Structure 1
Amino acid sequence: MRVSEIDLVSPSSVDKCLYMLRDHDKTFRLLAGGTDAIVQMKDGKRIPDIWINIKNLTELRYIREEKEGIHIGPLTTHTDIVKSELLQKKADVLVGASMEVGAIQLQNMGTVGGNIGTASPAGDTIPALFVLDAQIELSSFNEKRTIPINEFFTGPGKTVQKQNEMITNIIIQPQSENEIGIFEKLGPRKAQSISIVNVAITLRMGSNPRECLEGKIAFGSVGPTIIRSKKCEKMLALGPLDDTAIQDIAGAAWKEVMPISDVRASAKYRRSMASALLERGLYRLMNRWDAR
């Protein structure tokens, strides 16, 4: 498809964009960084009647803390997230995930809203948003609604977002002083490939050595949507996270994921790597906690 064949409009404000989305006679697709959308367009997938360029809507690019949580604009780039001192301090798991989104060029162009809207089970920032209890704000011309992230995705490439809506805000819960997080990914970095398996982990630690009070674990690319590892999460608080406990928890992950086989990896390999990534992540978190 040539650029000359694309119908594209560039609204000057969010309100004007939402007004355009009211037209039910045409299909629209929002274009921000374009790191996912352009690839799909070239493959002949998800091509709308009209593209809406929202890249210059700076009112949707921000990171700020308010009383109900940290607000992140959907046009915030992965580079913005990586460089944010607020997120480095209070959402390190999201910073780690954004650092793994391909090359620097992709991090500069790609947006967190685009990563969410694409709804790929392999999206790197999405598991991190799950363990941070993210809320997704959807706006139409007449109303707004807020959806918990665990209710937002309905399948690969599918969400509850309506044709006349756009993501206008993402709210995450900040990590506390005794909470640490990490993002682990399996995917050939040099090839800038999407994840074969990834996992986001947050742990709230106690005062005793390696005492975990509670934790959250979310796997990507091992099911039709992100998988919260509930059984493994319950095991985190059963005792000190020593070598035996970490290995037992990682072993339990094998049964919780639901991967498929495709051109990138077999289901069996993904199951094994899910356990391995969880084990590696827990060891790294404990080493970091011990060093405090």
Structure 2
Amino acid sequence: MKVSDMEMISPTSVNECLQVLSNRQNESRLIAGGTDAVVRMKEKKWMPNIWINIRNLNKLRYIYEDENGIHIGPMTTHTDIVQSDLLLNKADVLTHAAKEVGATQMQNMGTLGGNIGTASPAGDTIPALYVLDAKIELRSLHDTRIVPIQDFFVGPGKTVIHSDEIISDIIVRPQEKYEIGIFEKLGPRKAQSISIVNFATSLTLDSKKRHCTAGKLAFGSVGPTIIRAKKCESMLLLDRLDENLIQNMAKLAWKEVAPISDVRASANYRKDMASALLERGLYRLMKRWGE
């Protein structure tokens, strides 16, 4: 099928979009910023009969906080995230990750909902969402449900979202008073390429002795979905966060990840880099804490 043979629909409301999706006779796919869609079309992987352009659904573009957490609309761009004082102060790891999503033009066009919906294990914002305990709200014409992010992804490019649903909200928990996050990425060209490995962490530290009282660690591009390094997380609580503990955690991280070899990197190289990114990220976190 040629691109010129595809039909493009631009709904003016969320309800209109859901009505189109509910028509199961049509093979349709959502397009927002288009940063992933253009690539997949060139690869002839995404060739639906109908593209549903939701770019102008501004009701799905927001960042605000209430008693349930911080809400981020699926049409919120990576630039919106980077420029949000609320996220910088209460979900800084997501801000750091959004800064690494491609070049400036891609950050301006690409959306958080698109990054989630594409379900790439290398998606830069996704490890950050894992350590922030994100919840994904899915909405259809007749129902709304909320899925914890760890249950949302089922494999590379695969999620639990139904064909008649859209991502209607992303909810993350605000970080605690003494909690800070770090995001690390390894790519062929800094900040403008698909991650070979990426890593996000958010830790709560004792205000004086630098003991970790809680922490989450997540790796991307080293498994079919994001990998939470739970064995490394358990080590965080054993002792003061210092050079010795960080190096021991880095060795354990090598064993926790489960990458494959592909055209971009071998499995062993990814294991080595996962270990290195954890070590570098925690050293950076210690420096930030000291400052």
Pairwise CA distance, 1:3: 4.4
1:210 — aligned with what? 210
Q: Which runs of 5+ in 1 are unaligned?
A: none
Superposed CA offset, 1:245-289 (max 9, x none): 110011100110000000000000000000000000001101111
Q: Does 1:183 align with 2:183?
A: yes
1:29 — aligned with what? 29
Alpha-carbon distance change, 288 to 191 in structure 1, aligned in 2, over 3 angstroms: closer
Counterpart of 1:217 in structure 2: which amino acid? L
**C-alpha distance in structure 1 between counterparts of 2:27 and 2:141, whole Å:** 16
Kindly indicate whether the alpha-carbon contact (under 8 Å) linking 1:26 and 1:49 is maintained by their aligned counterparts in 2: yes
Identity of aligned residues (%): 66
Pairwise CA distance, 1:191: 7.9
Aligned residues: 291
1:236 — aligned with what? 236
Counterpart of 1:65 in structure 2: which amino acid? E
1:284 — aligned with what? 284
Counterpart of 1:71 in structure 2: which amino acid? H
**C-alpha distance in structure 2 between counterparts of 1:179 and 1:189, whole Å:** 30
**C-alpha distance in structure 2 between counterparts of 1:137 and 1:112, whole Å:** 13
**C-alpha distance in structure 2 between counterparts of 1:128 and 1:90, whole Å:** 13
Kindly indicate whether the alpha-carbon contact (under 8 Å) linking 1:197 and 1:222 is maintained by their aligned counterparts in 2: yes
**C-alpha distance in structure 2 between counterparts of 1:51 and 1:2, whole Å:** 13
Kindly indicate whether the alpha-carbon contact (under 8 Å) linking 2:100 and 2:191 is maintained by their aligned counterparts in 1: no
Kindly indicate whether the alpha-carbon contact (under 8 Å) linking 2:6 and 2:48 is maintained by their aligned counterparts in 1: no
**C-alpha distance in structure 1 between counterparts of 2:174 and 2:189, whole Å:** 29
Counterpart of 2:225 in structure 1: which amino acid? T
Superposed CA offset, 1:174-218 (max 9, x none): 111200001000013358210000000000011332211010000
Q: TM-score, normalised by structure 2?
A: 0.98
Kindly indicate whether the alpha-carbon contact (under 8 Å) linking 2:186 and 2:197 is maintained by their aligned counterparts in 1: yes
**C-alpha distance in structure 1 between counterparts of 2:187 and 2:209, whole Å:** 33
Pairwise CA distance, 1:48: 1.2
SS of residue matched to 2:176:
coil
Superposed CA offset, 1:127-158 (max 9, x none): 00000000000000001000000000000000
Kindly indicate whether the alpha-carbon contact (under 8 Å) linking 2:100 and 2:192 is maintained by their aligned counterparts in 1: no
Question: What is the correspondence of 1:1-292 to structure 2 with a 5 Å cutoff?
Answer: 3-190=3-190, 192-291=192-291
Pairwise CA distance, 1:229: 0.3
Pairwise CA distance, 1:46: 2.1
Counterpart of 1:199 in structure 2: which amino acid? F
**C-alpha distance in structure 1 between counterparts of 2:243 and 2:226, whole Å:** 27
**C-alpha distance in structure 2 between counterparts of 1:266 and 1:173, whole Å:** 35
**C-alpha distance in structure 2 between counterparts of 1:39 and 1:181, whole Å:** 31
Q: Which runs of 5+ in 2 are unaligned?
A: none
SS of residue matched to 1:189:
coil
- Of 122-131 and 205-214, deviating more is 205-214
**C-alpha distance in structure 2 between counterparts of 1:109 and 1:65, whole Å:** 24
- Of 39-48 and 96-105, deviating more is 39-48
Kindly indicate whether the alpha-carbon contact (under 8 Å) linking 1:102 and 1:189 is maintained by their aligned counterparts in 2: no
Q: TM-score, normalised by structure 1?
A: 0.98
**C-alpha distance in structure 2 between counterparts of 1:251 and 1:210, whole Å:** 21
**C-alpha distance in structure 2 between counterparts of 1:278 and 1:137, whole Å:** 30
